[in-house]
């Protein structure tokens, strides 16, 4: 890995009440005091405040799992970047495949959300990745190229290094089927090449792998030269497992 600080993010999806989240943070923090890696927790909206309070001063940062691109407006059920910033959120997951699949998140919307997050001062964690059918049809690179070019279309080259990208092959998310380190490295190196083609400092961009990362496979995945960390779903729900992944980076 170049001089990129490893970045490990916990995507809790729709898991943990605020009380459960508080318990998690109390258990996690003493286990990761020695880490110099970037550690980010992505709880549901209702637990954001609790996690921010409990992790204050620890170096752990907090991300939301989505946001709307507008600052305010008639968008019932949505939350904006200024609302997240106000309570101390520092980053936001955008374009997770579950939002693309189940909630109609489009590349068109993401082309607005990514620059809106940057403009507000939030760090976007942009998720991209192919379906199993696309991989079998040899379309992995085409999918990654299309998603990255569309979602980052309005991002200035000078801003690129402020973005974190997560390569998450859909067939590996929540399935227990992890991409091999070689598959993940190949896709992530390709994604970095796409970023390079956009100008800006692509070598400074942290690109994570996500998809059934566990303590047992985290080390070999993150040892690959272009893999700068992990976006962890299921294994991030248990503090011991998540701490072990943080330590493996
Ligand atoms: C995710 O939710 O982004 C994810 C990668 O989930 P899991 O680790 O459970 O596959």
Q: pLDDT tens for the chain, 249 residues: list them.
A: 468 999 999 999 999 999 999 999 999 999 999 999 999 999 999 999 999 999 999 999 999 999 999 999 999 999 999 999 999 999 999 999 999 999 999 999 999 999 999 999 999 999 999 999 999 999 999 999 999 999 999 999 999 999 999 999 999 999 999 999 999 999 999 999 999 999 989 999 999 999 999 999 999 999 999 999 999 999 999 999 999 999 999
Cα of 174 to ligand 1 centre, how many Å? 5
Ligand 1 pocket test: pick from 212, 216, 242 the residue with the most ligand atoms within 8 Å of its Cβ: 212
Identify the DSSP state of 176: S
- Distance (Å, rounded) from C-alpha 101 to C-alpha 113? 17
State yes or no: is 132 an active-site residue.
no
Cβ of 168 below 6 Å from ligand 1:
yes
- What one-character DSSP code corresponds to residue 177? -
Q: Which atom of ligand 1 is nearest to the CA of 212?
A: 10
What's the pLDDT at 142? Answer: 98
Determine the pLDDT at residue 161.
95
Would you mind telling me the total number of residues written for the chain in this entry?
249
pLDDT for 232: 98
For residue 226 and ligand 1, the question of a CB distance below 6 A is answered with no
Let me know the angle formed at the C-alpha of 125 by 33 and 3, rounded to the nearest 5 degrees: 60
Is-catalytic flag, 102? no
Strands 7-11, 61-64: parallel, antiparallel or unpaired by DSSP?
unpaired
Ligand 1 centre to CA of 190 (Å) is 21
């Amino acid at each position: 890995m170049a001089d990129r600080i490893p970045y490990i993010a916990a995507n809790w999806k729709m898991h943990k009440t605020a009380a459960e989240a508080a318990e998690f943070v109390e258990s996690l923090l003493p286990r990761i005091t020695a880490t110099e890696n970037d550690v980010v927790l992505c709880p549901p909206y209702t637990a954001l405040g609790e996690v921010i309070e409990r992790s204050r001063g620890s170096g752990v940062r907090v991300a939301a799992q989505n946001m709307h691109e507008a600052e305010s407006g008639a968008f019932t059920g949505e939350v904006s970047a200024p609302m997240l910033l106000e309570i101390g959120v520092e980053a936001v997951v955008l374009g997770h495949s579950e939002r693309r699949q189940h909630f109609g998140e489009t590349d068109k919307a993401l082309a607005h959300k990514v620059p809106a997050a940057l403009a507000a001062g939030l760090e976007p964690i942009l998720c991209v990745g192919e379906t199993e059918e696309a991989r079998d049809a040899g379309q992995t690179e085409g999918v990654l190229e299309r998603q990255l070019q569309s979602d980052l279309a309005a991002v200035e080259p000078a801003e690129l290094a402020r973005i974190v990208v997560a390569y998450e092959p859909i067939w590996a998310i929540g399935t227990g089927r992890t991409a091999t380190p070689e598959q993940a490295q190949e896709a992530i190196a390709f994604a970095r090449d796409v970023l390079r083609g956009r100008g800006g400092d692509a070598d400074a961009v942290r690109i994570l792998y996500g998809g059934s990362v566990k303590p047992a496979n985290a080390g070999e995945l993150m040892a690959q030269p272009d893999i700068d960390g992990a976006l962890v779903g299921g294994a991030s729900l248990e503090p011991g497992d998540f701490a072990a992944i943080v330590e493996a980076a």
